[in-house]
Amino acid sequence: MKKTLTLLIITILFCSFNIENHKKSILKNRESIVVKIDTILTVEIGGVKQFVEIKTDDSTRPVLLFLSGGPGGSMMNSASKYTNKLKDKFTIVQWDQRGAGKTLELNPSPIQPSVVQMENDTYEVIQFISKKLKKKKIYLAGCSWGNILGFYIVEKHPEVLHSYLAINPVVSQMASEKLLLIRLKEVYENNEIALKELSTVKIPFERAEDLFFIRKWLFDMDGKDYAIKDNFKDFFLEWTKTWFPVWQEVMNINLPKTLIEVKCPVYFFVGKDDIQTSTKITKEYFEKMKTPKKDLYLFEYSKHSIQESEPEKFQNIIIENILSKNTID
């Protein structure tokens, strides 16, 4: 009788164990079901409704989130140019930050944007994406200004990142703007109007016109004809009403002094002739940085925004050199 009872108990326990394992197997399979996503979501972030776009043919792929340049810029409309190959390897996520793109169209920020507020927004967006797509870690790419937000995540929340991609990064913008001003004065030494305007510029910037004159002649040097037209000045000075205070904050950020040792892989993408965010300064920072993995990729035919000027090379590096070397969930 005792043997029969013991056998019965063992059988029940064995069946229960198998049922529990079966349940876990079903849940795991559900999580790994391939789902195609092509959607724009409106998410409450930092008290503002913000737009997040998710595109993938396979939701089990690793997530790559882009942080737009600007501030006040959007990358959604141009994304296809530099993600046409990445989309086959990643779930691509774009986000229109407060005061930018579709988010601005829907609702202006109820408060004056600040670096701290937008850093907090960034972490909230990553938390939302990670929960939505069931990922412990993501790949994060900051473009120009987006690196202010991206390096904040690298410093404060490296545990959420497989690796960080710093594209034409803002590293020490005060030093970069000083070098830029010197260069512009050299280029325009025989242009009376340009030299007169550039000679009024104070660094650190004291007024919105300081930043405007530097960008006006930088863009003109790059062949952008619109830069010397009155409507560009009107547009730029309107932009500064929101973003000049933020840019003054940015001018005080100096990563070579405040962020040397990081706990996740960091990869730099820089244009050989970028003087907007100085390649020279970025290279020096790269040499100083201590990190589990790092590399710097130089784009010979680019200045700023290398993802648009050399999109093929940009994507191949991410797929072949970075994705293959980092652990996926």
C-beta neighbour count of 245 within 10 angstroms: 15
pLDDT in tens, the chain (329 residues): 545 544 444 444 444 444 455 444 434 444 457 789 999 999 999 999 999 999 999 999 999 999 999 999 999 999 999 999 999 999 999 999 999 999 999 999 999 999 999 999 999 999 999 999 999 999 999 999 999 999 999 999 999 999 999 999 999 999 999 999 999 999 999 999 999 999 999 999 999 999 999 999 999 999 999 999 999 999 999 999 999 999 999 999 999 999 999 999 999 999 999 999 999 999 999 999 999 999 999 999 999 999 999 999 999 999 999 998 775 55
Contact yes or no for 240/71 (Cβ under 8 A) = no
- pLDDT, tens digit, for every residue of 167-207? 999 999 999 999 999 999 999 999 999 999 999 999 999 99
Contact yes or no for 243/113 (Cβ under 8 A) = yes
- pLDDT, tens digit, for every residue of 198-244? 999 999 999 999 999 999 999 999 999 999 999 999 999 999 999 99
Which structure tokens are listed for 252? 């005080």
The C-alpha atoms of residue 267 and residue 318 are separated, in whole angstroms, by 9
Which structure tokens are listed for 242? 């929101």
At 191 the pLDDT is 98
At 87 the pLDDT is 96
